[in-house]
Structure 1
Amino acid sequence: MPTDTTPVPETATARFFVGQLVQHKKFDYRGVVFDADATFLGTDEWYEEVAKSRPPRDQPWYHVLVHRGDRTTYVAERHLAADDRGPIEHPLIGQFFDRFGDGRYGLKGGVQ
């Protein structure tokens, strides 16, 4: 059986976790992380069009449900800060999370 000897690149450790409340530093919106990528996984076209500040692609990126709206965003870690102002309102909360306590959301069916 062949084995893959390709070296595994080191990846950055994520500062935020799924279910954590965050705030965008520049655009000042709040939200909750519902997924995270160790590195940028979007397209080159999206990055060129949307990521105007050119955040690092080799750092964590987060999928965020935006408070008081129906939008989601894909945000580089350097643009986020932890938020502790309480639950958010978003129509998709129930698809990912089933409880809120101690300042965080618990994954639906998870053991958080």
Structure 2
Amino acid sequence: MTDFARVAKFRLGQVVRHRTHPFRGVIFDVDPEFANTQEWYESIPEEVRPAKDQPFYHLFAENEATYYVAYVSEQNLIPDSSGEPVEHPEVMEHFGDFEDGHYPLGHRLN
């Protein structure tokens, strides 16, 4: 019997960064285990390919050059300790104002 009681380490609205790649973002959705395409999965080099049986996070991500949506395994994320907001334009459409290192759930009312 498989244990489906896995708890995600990170939460919606939390600002995180990738463990090895230079980007950070806000979590807007969580899959309890891998739920993307096999083609996407196989595009990751085998030596760094994450296990599928862990939470995967959808991020409004940014780096120095652009904004995008990222899909990242839990093992490749760490909390962002910069205290800085994320500038991705979709963040404010889905979350409230940045406070204490995270974004509260809910739409802004302005």
Which runs of structure 1 show a deviation greater than 6 angstroms over 4 or more consecutive aligned residues? none
Quick check: 1:21–1:33 contact (8 Å CA) kept in 2?
yes
Q: Judging changes above 3 Å, is the alpha-carbon distance between structure 1 residues 11 and 42 closer, same or farther for their aligned structure 2 residues? A: farther
Aligned partner of residue 103 in structure 2, secondary structure: strand
Change (3 A) 1:13 1:65: same
Q: TM-score, normalised by structure 2?
A: 0.83
Which structure is higher in strand share?
Answer: 1
1:35 deviates by 0.8
Q: Residue 40 of structure 2 aligns with which residue?
A: 46
CA distance in 2 between counterparts of 1:11 and 1:48 reads 27
Separation of aligned partners in 2, 1:45 and 1:27: 21
**TM-score normalised to structure 1 length:** 0.82
Confirm or deny: 8 A CA contact 1:11 1:39 kept in the other structure. Answer: no
| 1:108–1:89 CA distance, 2 compared to 1 (3 A) | same
- Distance in 1 of aligned mates of 2:87 and 2:62: 5
Among candidates 99, 104, 107, match of residue 106 of structure 1: 104
Q: Is residue 67 of structure 1 aligned with residue 62 of structure 2? A: yes
Tell me how large the CA RMSD over aligned residues is.
2.0
1:78 aligns to 2:81 (yes or no): no
**Counterpart Cα distance in 2 of 1:27 and 1:70:** 14
| 2:86 paired residue number | 88
Give secondary structure in 1 for the equivalent of 2:96. strand
Matched residue of 1:23: which SS? strand
Which residues of structure 2 form unaligned runs of 5+? none
Q: Percent identity?
A: 39
Distance apart, 1:77 and its partner CA: 0.4
Query: One-letter code of the match for 1:91?
Result: P
